[in-house]
Amino acid sequence: MNIQWNSQTYQDQFSFVPTYGEDVLSLITQPSGCKALDLGCGNGTLTQKLSERGYDVLGLDASEDMLALARREHPGLRFLWGDAVTFTLDQPVDLIFSNAVFHWIDEDKQQDMIANIARHLTPGGELVCEFGGYGCGEAVHSTLQHCFEKRGLTYPRTFYFPTIGQYAPLLEQHGLRVEVALLFDRPTPQQGPDGLLDWIHMFVKAPFDAMDAALQAEIEQETKQLLYHKLCQNGTWYIDYVRIRLRARKALLL
């Protein structure tokens, strides 16, 4: 994963991430009692939901900060450090669930991640996930890019937002049959009058690495001004999220 998290700020201001993820659980068809992996479990909220549904679940995340929070909040569950691309388990699982993770994996590592997921699924096991789709946050990113470029700076895009047409073939190449795939807009409200800037501070870190604080503040304020009439409604900021939600099943052995 190509971003570092502030777990407490994530918990306090961005709880909508696991909250929206609860709806993704409805795509799961595996029966309770199955072994499950919550891949990129974050603070463990959805790991807990999987456990409550009767799954023998393990939470896995690449952020030690997030894992510490998950273990503190959910002491009865198991959590393990691991990267989505390289994690290893002692035994395959029947269900791999993931929410808001895949778009943080670099495009050139997506094939390796999917291959690793496929290796860790039992025959007939399923992948159920949601992540950013084509156009996610584009109003914010394109405005930031404009503000960077007018100052002679490059705005790096450190995320991967594919279309269904781009992503489904990647899954199929690794023996995962896509059963459900949706791409949809989900404008997402933020907390408080500085919701846009708080979102940028949490999710758009790499472009501002090593930048002078005054210049960063100048770019952020210009971005806020340019986006006000587009993304702020009745005092609430909305980020123009687009999501992909899917279920894919590993082929049964012949």
pLDDT digits (tens, 9 = 90+) for 66-85: 999 999 999 999 999 999 99
Question: What percent of the chain clears pLDDT 90, i.e. is strictly above it?
Answer: 86
**CA dist., res. 205 & res. 207, Å (int):** 6
149 in a domain, yes or no?
Answer: no
What would the mean pLDDT of 89-108 be, rounded to a whole number? 96
Question: What percent of the chain clears pLDDT 70, i.e. is strictly above it?
Answer: 91
Q: Which CATH number do you get for residue 23? A: 3.40.50.150
**CA dist., res. 155 & res. 149, Å (int):** 7
| Helix or strand (DSSP H, E) at 144 | helix 138-149
41 in a domain, yes or no?
Answer: yes
Q: Ramachandran region of residue 163, left (φ > 0), alpha (ψ -120 to 50) or beta?
A: beta
Question: For 144-186, how does the pLDDT look when each residue is reduced to its tens digit (9 = 90+)?
Answer: 999 999 999 999 998 999 999 999 999 999 999 999 999 999 9
Q: Which of the pair, 39 or 6, is modelled with greater confidence?
A: 39
Domain count, the chain: 1
Phi and psi, residue 99, nearest 5°: -125, 125
Q: Ramachandran region of residue 222, left (φ > 0), alpha (ψ -120 to 50) or beta?
A: alpha
Label residue 5 by pLDDT band (50, 70, 90): very low
Q: Which of the pair, 246 or 19, is modelled with greater confidence?
A: 246
pLDDT computed for residue 16 by the predictor: 52
Most confident of 21-25, 122-126, 248-252: 122-126
Label residue 22 by pLDDT band (50, 70, 90): confident
Kindly provide the residue ranges of all beta strands, DSSP E only, lying in the chain, ordered along the sequence. Answer: 35-39, 56-61, 78-81, 93-99, 121-132, 176-189, 232-233, 236-250
Instruction: Residue 206: name the closest of 131, 144, 137, 138 by CA.
Output: 144
Label residue 252 by pLDDT band (50, 70, 90): confident
Which tokens belong to 105?
A: 């994996």
pLDDT computed for residue 18 by the predictor: 59
Full residue range of the structural domain in which residue 61 is found: 7-134+159-191+240-250
225 in a domain, yes or no?
Answer: no
Mean pLDDT of the chain: 92
Which tokens belong to 37?
A: 């992996």
Instruction: Residue 180: name the closest of 79, 90, 249 by CA.
Output: 249
**CA dist., res. 83 & res. 204, Å (int):** 20
106 in a domain, yes or no?
Answer: yes
217 in a domain, yes or no?
Answer: no
40 in a domain, yes or no?
Answer: yes
